[in-house]
Amino acid sequence: MSRRNSGGVDRGEPVIGLLTVELHFPHSQSLKEKRMVVKAIKDRSRFNASVAEIGYQELWQRAQLSAVSVSSERRGLQSLLEAMAREVEERYPSELVEVAIEFID
């Protein structure tokens, strides 16, 4: 269902895309070491998305990150999230445990 503004022009419904990645850092010896890697992932993100560490925050060797973006077009949003997942996989192939993409229409 689309909405019309007072000028009669269609406005698209927002679509929220959520990318969640889980990483395992077997050689990490401290939270500081793990957080340096997590910070690098967040800082290197060149995509139009917000990124946060959401899980395993007190574990040295695991991290769960989520990225979220909003668009009026699901197809473009899916391409964005898939590109973000590919970038993490290319940089951290042996550390990547799981990737999940979800949409909220």
* pLDDT tens-digit readout, 54-79: 999 999 999 999 999 999 999 999 99
pLDDT in tens, 36-56: 999 998 888 888 899 999 999
When pLDDT is averaged across residues 80-87 and rounded to a whole number, the result is 96
Range(s) of the domain holding residue 81: 23-104
Does any domain span residue 12? no
Measured torsion, CA atoms of residues 84, 55, 95, 29, in degrees rounded to the nearest 10: 140
Please report whether residue 49 resides in a domain: yes
Residue 38 lies in a domain: yes
Distance from chain centroid for Cα 44: 12
Q: Structural domain tally of the chain?
A: 1
Q: Does 62 reside within a domain?
A: yes
In a domain, 13, yes or no: no
Any domain includes 99: yes
Query: What Å distances lie between residue 27 and 8, 34, 90, 94, CA to CA?
Result: 58, 9, 19, 12
Quick check: is 93 in a domain? yes
pLDDT confidence bin for 12, thresholds 50/70/90: confident
